[in-house]
Structure 1
């Protein structure tokens, strides 16, 4: 251990207490384990319990020249989990900063600390019988809102572009200075958190997908629950149907008939991996699972949702989607609260978190996914691919 790290650890223990400075080898090994190979090393784990401890934590790191790597819940599975991006670093674990600071039902906003999870917000809104919901991700229900937003993650539904429906309220810089972007630097006011840009140049973008500061407070905008939610599901027989349906979906998105982030295209393997695992006989022999050998299964699928607040609007939107997609698909089904009420009870399109997608990381495991899934600890091999392509 270097003298710099030794002195920093003494200072952190004095500040946070011994129980908040972890150096047990088994905990460090767990923190530097991801769903893919990594050689980067975790030197220690800090777990502050108060936001007020963050500035002095960062000042100590700067004084002793020790790299800090902040995480919130560390559920970034398939994209690095908790592993630092530098060769060696001390993890600043913010999972205990898990307070919902403010909720405004009228303005449809919720303000949280870094450790607040999607499940926590869902439970909170349900308890208070809110008319709104928070757009959720396809990952763990126990993932962090702020972590998802700062990594520029997306979500399910019209509010899926997280960066467009959130506002950074408080940042601690590397020297311990606390800044408030937007209108926050004017002190207490009613606009802070509602209009993210403030006045003049905006610095918010500097703090997403970066390590320039520790975000300790963010506001997220909530979506009103639709009176009429309609889900649709398409089977696509071949690549020709996929190409034609993609072209028509682009038009529906541009014309805002289907809202943004409200249509998905999956192949059969992605669909199966959410529900089951690769058959053991194929795993043992190394054979490929061919969709042609799966009776009654199409190679490609599309699914989506329509959000409406009036019956006439819902009827028209359904007709427009049906007219556009029915000619290019093998089959097209619609579901709503009247025809399939059970499908809407736990639906991510209504902000209800689900771990179904996490199951797909166990596709090649010999044992079934446990009730509490941990792809890192269960040694699942997974690397999420997040391509960006022009929609044409």
Structure 2
């Protein structure tokens, strides 16, 4: 950092302390180290951290940053596992930690929506709805109770229910621009608007999308739609025995999605994804050999009754609607697999049966599977859980904090690639033909979940799990990521989101799109104050 830059930073810090309080401006080495942690092979370090408590604080922070030409990087709660966590794209930026802005501003039970700040977590909103006995469900992700709802929506993340597309079910933003102005989108910019959180589009150009996966402003408030508690809910599960059976699975499920029989998200996890949810890598059994030998992989599958692919989803509606959908789904999947439907009564009965068998010591595997199903059903019903963070520990050789599943507390190595595919069985097979040899080449296990997120598209979340304590393995993980990223791009399977280490790669194979994005950036933030490099490829191919 040059002398001028150091002076500017010192002046900015002094101004921020005056604006938001000394206790909310952090720059000692210990705090810097804490905020530099992430699951990627290599992270970035901030110059300082500021923690606003209100939209006025954010506005003041940005005005000071622009005046002193200090680059800042906002985040909601920093639980962006596998994509960079709370780290900026470049070192030396000042992090804006929005975690203090955690107010639930409104819950409208008649129209089933909430208005929240970026620091509101999944657990916080869930508990608020429960405490007030509001008959509303939120849509959860598997990122854990402490993950931000707003943060996931702005990354266009997804969950499990009919409201599983989190950006689609958001409505109305408050955004602070780089010059400190506060923008309300949709109808929110009109005085006394009655429709700001019920009608997404407003009038004129639709701006909300500009502030998702971007660096054009800081979102300080978001409206989200909540699912009215359904009269009836059933989960369903089925497995298939061969990897090639993914073709049949997708071909069976697509018509059900397009006809509205399946109106929620359906997740299809391969055996390795499910194995990693229950177990860590068997280092002793494999004598340190990687990747996981096929014989041991098959043994895991057999002992726990997993399939090569494992399908889960939910049915939401009235009793008659659920009964009708069950019938249609059962008929459609009959030639592919034996499907199981589970409601509250069946789950309760299964737990009692397992408890009885446990006295004989013969139900350990079944009990573990049942606990996992119970946690998955919780997610489908809007109940946050930490259970699925266990999968991030797959390749970790030693657990640093046995009391925590937080990937950062255990120095976990994890990267995610998330390509979008057309919803065809051919595309699913093609994906695995690309993924498998690359993972084998670099000696990793392809942990894959294919999620049917719309009626026509699916996303494959592919994990590269590695031991960060092993420098050789960490370097191989980076090489594996890069090789797979470009292989998927060349095949036309582009990512729906990406990590801080691959923002520049987004220009690969593109044309004018990112130039237009950059033009908008220059118009709104000419001095590149907010999140420089985030969804802003610098080096075109």
Aligned: 1:358 with 2:389:
yes
Quick one: distance in 2 between partners of 1:268 and 1:70? 37
Partner SS, residue 167 of structure 2: helix
Q: Is 1:237–1:299's contact at 8 Å kept on the other side of the alignment?
A: yes
Choose which of 91, 95, 101 in structure 2 pairs with 1:91: 95
Superposed, 1:177-256 pairs within 5 Å as 177-256=181-260
Partner of 2:130: 126
- Using the TM superposition, name which of 150-159 and 34-43 deviates more: 34-43
Quick one: distance in 2 between partners of 1:140 and 1:306? 23
Quick one: distance in 2 between partners of 1:215 and 1:103? 19
Listed one character per residue, the Cα deviations across residues 89-121 of structure 1 (whole Å, up to 9, x for unaligned) are 000011001010011111101111110011100
Choose which of 294, 298, 306 in structure 2 pairs with 1:292: 298
- Using the TM superposition, name which of 55-64 and 179-188 deviates more: 179-188
Quick one: distance in 1 between partners of 2:264 and 2:417? 20
Question: Judging changes above 3 Å, is the alpha-carbon distance between structure 1 residues 193 and 24 closer, same or farther for their aligned structure 2 residues?
Answer: same
Quick one: distance in 2 between partners of 1:155 and 1:293? 31
Partner of 2:341: 334
Partner of 2:403: 371
Please state how far the C-alpha of 1:280 moved relative to its aligned partner. 2.9
TM-score by length of 2: 0.69
Quick one: distance in 2 between partners of 1:178 and 1:29? 32
Q: Is 2:43–2:84's contact at 8 Å kept on the other side of the alignment?
A: no
Q: Is 1:31–1:42's contact at 8 Å kept on the other side of the alignment?
A: yes
Partner SS, residue 261 of structure 2: coil
Question: Judging changes above 3 Å, is the alpha-carbon distance between structure 1 residues 211 and 56 closer, same or farther for their aligned structure 2 residues?
Answer: same
Please state how far the C-alpha of 1:161 moved relative to its aligned partner. 0.8
Q: Which has the larger helix fraction?
A: 2
Please state how far the C-alpha of 1:141 moved relative to its aligned partner. 1.4
Q: Flag structure 2 segments of 5+ consecutive residues without an equivalent.
A: 352-372, 425-541
Q: When the two structures are aligned, how many residues end up with a matched partner?
A: 389
Aligned: 1:347 with 2:347:
no
Partner of 1:387: 419
Please state how far the C-alpha of 1:348 moved relative to its aligned partner. 0.7
Q: Is 1:30–1:377's contact at 8 Å kept on the other side of the alignment?
A: no
Superposed, 1:25-44 pairs within 5 Å as 25-44=29-48
Quick one: distance in 2 between partners of 1:267 and 1:231? 19
Q: Is 1:168–1:215's contact at 8 Å kept on the other side of the alignment?
A: no
Partner of 1:324: 332
Listed one character per residue, the Cα deviations across residues 325-372 of structure 1 (whole Å, up to 9, x for unaligned) are 12112x321111232247669611110011222111111223457333
Question: Judging changes above 3 Å, is the alpha-carbon distance between structure 1 residues 85 and 254 closer, same or farther for their aligned structure 2 residues?
Answer: same
Q: Is 1:275–1:356's contact at 8 Å kept on the other side of the alignment?
A: no
Q: Is 2:274–2:306's contact at 8 Å kept on the other side of the alignment?
A: no
Quick one: distance in 1 between partners of 2:81 and 2:24? 24
Please state how far the C-alpha of 1:225 moved relative to its aligned partner. 1.5
Quick one: distance in 1 between partners of 2:306 and 2:160? 25
Listed one character per residue, the Cα deviations across residues 134-168 of structure 1 (whole Å, up to 9, x for unaligned) are 11112121111111111111121110111111123
Q: Is 2:37–2:43's contact at 8 Å kept on the other side of the alignment?
A: no
Partner of 1:159: 163
Please state how far the C-alpha of 1:318 moved relative to its aligned partner. 0.7
Quick one: distance in 2 between partners of 1:19 and 1:313? 54
Question: Judging changes above 3 Å, is the alpha-carbon distance between structure 1 residues 39 and 280 closer, same or farther for their aligned structure 2 residues?
Answer: closer
Quick one: distance in 1 between partners of 2:78 and 2:247? 37
TM-score by length of 1: 0.95
Partner of 1:8: 12
Question: Judging changes above 3 Å, is the alpha-carbon distance between structure 1 residues 284 and 13 closer, same or farther for their aligned structure 2 residues?
Answer: farther
Partner of 2:112: 108
Question: Judging changes above 3 Å, is the alpha-carbon distance between structure 1 residues 147 and 286 closer, same or farther for their aligned structure 2 residues?
Answer: same
Quick one: distance in 1 between partners of 2:293 and 2:315? 34
